[in-house]
């Protein structure tokens, strides 16, 4: 497998790379190509995105696309950055906890709104202008706190990772519903019944006590409620870390 030139990829993401010389000159732009690929992904998922399909929709040959974008991996990076868009922070609160909550929820909504983004393996750190803008928004939310620079990058990684994990879980359950007949809100009750049967023999005493308490039958019945519940755990941990940093000052 050929090694990718990450500097070249970054130049593409920031539109600093001129089209190559291979093939006849045309009137396409990188934005047109990427926008068309995003439209295909919105309609058909990542499985529906090929260089050939993008070219056909644009009315050009497949080979002509390679003057602008070296290959499919680069196209995917460009699609991810374009589809993520810029964070709209105008309505975000100013207090750090509420602002981090808004940051994480906005990420979650983008991922669940375009679930094909969840199909893309993360191969590089954020490098595109939109993803860098999201990093800036998350880090800016922690300005004025006692967190160290290393702490802030750690918080950014954990909070973003949480949004990604929760979005994936939401999408997995959504896709399973036609086959299982179980909606997101019904999974707690169904899972409770399954676990109650398999832990009845006493081999899992700690889990048995959780099941007996009806934890899986609580009233958090929507993905958004589950998301908020877990995010509070993270925010409480961040707050505790802030108190630790204040004590060290």
Report pLDDT digits (tens) over 195-227.
888 887 778 999 999 998 888 876 557 889 899
User: pLDDT digits over 133-159, tens only?
Assistant: 999 999 999 999 999 999 999 999 999
From 97, 93, 98, 81, select the one nearest 133 (Cα to Cα).
81
Stronger pLDDT, 3 or 2, i.e. the higher one: 3
Same domain flag for 120 and 33 = no
Number of domains in the chain: 2
Residue 47 lies in domain: 6-84
Task: State which of 26, 56, 84 marks the end of a domain.
Answer: 84
Same domain, 45 and 154: no
Whether residues 152 and 225 fall in one domain? yes
Is residue 180 located within the same domain as residue 230? yes
Examine residue 210 and state whether it is found in any structural domain, yes or no.
Answer: yes
Q: pLDDT band at 23, cuts 50/70/90?
A: very low
Least confident of 72-86, 161-175, 182-196: 182-196
Instruction: Output the CA torsion sign for 183, 189, 192, 196.
Output: negative
Together in a domain, 123 and 39? no
Task: Choose one of 61, 84, 107: the last residue of a domain.
Answer: 84
- Which of 54, 84, 114 lies at the terminal end of a domain, its last residue? 84
Torsion of CA 230, 109, 222, 39, to 10 degrees: -140
Q: Report the CATH number at residue 216.
A: 1.10.357.10
> How far is 239 from 181, CA to CA, in rounded Å?
40
Look at residue 75 and tell me if it is in a domain.
Answer: yes
Does 116 map to a domain?
yes
pLDDT of residue 125: 81
The answer to the question of residue 89 being in a domain is no
CATH number of the domain that residue 51 is part of:
1.10.10.60
Q: Are residues 77 and 116 in the same domain?
A: no
Query: Which tokens hold the place of 194?
Result: 């399954």
* Cβ atoms 166, 111 nearer than 8 A: no
Domain identity same for 192 and 150: yes
Percent over 90 (pLDDT), the chain: 66
Is the Cα torsion angle 72, 77, 80, 81 positive or negative in sign? Answer: negative
Tell me, yes or no, whether 107 and 76 share the same domain: no
Q: In this structure, is residue 104 part of a structural domain?
A: yes
243 and 149 part of one domain: yes
- pTM here is 0.90
pLDDT band at 57 (very low <50, low <70, confident <90, very high): very high
Closest to 23 measured CA to CA, from 50, 75, 61, 56: 61
For residues 106 and 79, membership in a common domain is answered with no
Q: What is the full DSSP assignment across 138-197? A: HHHTTTTSS--HHHHHHHHHHHHHHHHHHHHHHHHHHHHHHHH---GGGHHHHHHHHHHH
Give how far Cα 208 sits from Cα of 189, 196, 216, Å.
15, 7, 12
């Amino acid at each position: 497998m050929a090694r990718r030139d990450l500097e070249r990829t970054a130049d593409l993401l920031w539109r600093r790379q001129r089209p190559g010389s291979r093939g006849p000159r045309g009137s396409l732009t990188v934005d047109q190509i990427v926008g068309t690929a995003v439209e295909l992904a919105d309609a058909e998922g990542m499985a529906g995105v090929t260089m050939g399909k993008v070219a056909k929709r644009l009315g050009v040959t497949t080979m002509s696309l390679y003057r602008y974008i070296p290959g499919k991996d680069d196209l995917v990076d460009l699609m991810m950055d374009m589809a993520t868009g810029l964070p709209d922070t105008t309505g975000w609160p100013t207090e750090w906890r509420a602002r981090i909550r808004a940051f994480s929820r906005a990420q979650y909504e983008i991922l669940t709104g375009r679930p094909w983004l969840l199909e893309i393996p993360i191969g590089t750190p954020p490098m595109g202008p939109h993803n860098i803008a999201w990093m800036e928004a998350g880090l800016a939310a922690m300005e004025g706190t006692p967190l160290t620079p290393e702490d802030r990058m750690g918080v950014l990684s954990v909070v973003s990772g949480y949004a990604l994990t929760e979005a994936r879980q939401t999408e997995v359950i959504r896709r399973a519903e036609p086959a299982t007949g179980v909606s997101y809100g019904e999974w707690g009750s169904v899972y409770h019944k399954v676990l109650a049967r398999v832990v009845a023999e006493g081999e899992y005493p700690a889990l048995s006590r959780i099941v007996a308490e009806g934890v899986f039958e609580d009233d958090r019945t929507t993905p958004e409620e589950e998301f908020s519940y877990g995010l509070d755990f993270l925010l409480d941990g961040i707050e505790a870390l802030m108190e630790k940093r204040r004590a060290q000052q």
